[in-house]
């Protein structure tokens, strides 16, 4: 099966009103993508029925990504905070399911933001237990969880592929996979090839984000793209590959602050998205010797 090419909804809009949702989904289809990754930052106010209807209208697939807040951090030692986090995760899972998707990815295991110290033993256990609990709920709906490890400034739970694989092993659920993101890998990994191979050998390579080192246009930063795409080709990756890029003009204010998006990296998101898809497809073709 070919790779499913996706684009993050925040390339198009920072909200999800009916007009914003139609704009994002229509623009995704127009740019030639197979899938849109929605971002139900506050899933309680997310209209899944409307989203599903628009996706069907434009013949698009969907995934969903999430990052928790300090008040919903399932790696907290406070049981009330963990309970609120689980409630948010369960709501996001319902949004994804009712929108027609089967992969919930992102920072599902902690808050998205810098911590003052390393994770505690109890906090890490709370995180793992919460992901196991969510995985069981997800399995009932045929949903896979893909845990996105992030750089040291955005989580203290998992920062590398190997840490993610160790975390998944501790969770012990078959529908929990590793979500690799080139932006974070560029900060934390010593080898893109070895990271991809480790996830593949473990049977846990489940989702991929392609993002440039500065979060702007692909091919204009320092990501070792040839190494990365070659590694994916070598292991036979056939899953979802979503383009992710942020601009302070578009990104949701809360997420923009969490990710430190202080400047505009682009102004024309339609050209950005089209160029990203062309770049990704051409590099994958070159990696397989078809270019």
Tell me which of 37, 154, 189, 244 is the catalytic residue: 244
Question: Environment class of residue 164 by beta-carbon count within 10 Å: exposed (0-12), middle (13-18) or buried (19+)?
Answer: buried
The owner of tokens 């986090």 is 85
121 is catalytic: no
For Cα atoms 26, 27, 29, give the angle at the middle one, nearest 5 degrees. 65
C-alpha 212/C-alpha 225 separation (Å) is 9
Contact assessment for residue 90 and residue 130, using Cβ atoms and an 8 Å cutoff: no
Tell me which of 37, 148, 189, 212 is the catalytic residue: 148
Strand partners for 177 = 146
The owner of tokens 């160790």 is 166
Contact assessment for residue 252 and residue 41, using Cβ atoms and an 8 Å cutoff: yes
Helix or strand run (H / E) with residue 242? strand 240-243
C-alpha 121/C-alpha 149 separation (Å) is 18
148 is catalytic: yes
Contact assessment for residue 7 and residue 279, using Cβ atoms and an 8 Å cutoff: no
Q: Please choose, from the candidates 231, 210, 223, the residue with its C-alpha nearest in 3D space to the C-alpha of residue 277.
A: 210
User: C-alpha distances in angstroms, 177 versus 173, 183, 207, 212?
Assistant: 9, 18, 8, 23
C-alpha 175/C-alpha 285 separation (Å) is 29
Both tokens of residue 145?
A: 């969880």
The owner of tokens 């590099």 is 283
Which residues participate in catalysis according to the annotation?
Answer: 148, 244
């Amino acid at each position: 099966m070919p790779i499913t090419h996706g684009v993050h909804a925040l390339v198009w809009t920072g909200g999800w009103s009916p007009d914003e949702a139609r704009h994002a989904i229509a623009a995704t289809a127009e740019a030639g993508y197979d899938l849109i990754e929605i971002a139900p930052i506050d899933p309680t106010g997310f209209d899944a029925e409307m989203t599903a209807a628009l996706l069907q209208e434009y013949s698009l697939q969907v995934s969903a990504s999430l990052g928790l807040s300090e008040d919903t951090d399932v790696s907290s030692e406070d049981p009330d905070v963990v309970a609120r986090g689980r409630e948010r995760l369960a709501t996001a899972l319902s949004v994804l399911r009712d929108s027609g998707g089967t992969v919930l990815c992102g920072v599902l295991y902690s808050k998205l933001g810098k911590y003052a110290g390393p994770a505690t033993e109890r906090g890490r256990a709370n995180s793992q237990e919460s992901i196991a609990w969510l995985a069981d709920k997800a399995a009932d709906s045929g949903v896979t969880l893909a845990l996105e490890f992030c750089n040291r400034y955005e989580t203290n739970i998992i920062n590398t592929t190997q840490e993610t694989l160790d975390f998944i092993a501790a969770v012990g659920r078959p529908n929990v996979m590793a979500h690799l993101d080139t932006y974070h890998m560029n900060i934390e990994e010593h080898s893109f090839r070895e990271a991809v191979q480790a996830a593949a050998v473990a049977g846990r390579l489940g989702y991929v984000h392609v993002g440039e080192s500065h979060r702007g246009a692909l091919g204009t930063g320092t990501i070792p793209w040839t190494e990365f795409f070659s590694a994916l080709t070598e292991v036979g990756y056939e899953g979802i590959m979503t383009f992710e890029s942020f601009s302070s003009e578009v990104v949701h204010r809360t997420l923009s602050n969490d990710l430190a998006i202080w400047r505009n990296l682009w102004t024309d998101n339609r050209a950005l998205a089209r160029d990203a898809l062309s770049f990704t497809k051409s590099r994958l073709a070159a990696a397989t010797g078809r270019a």
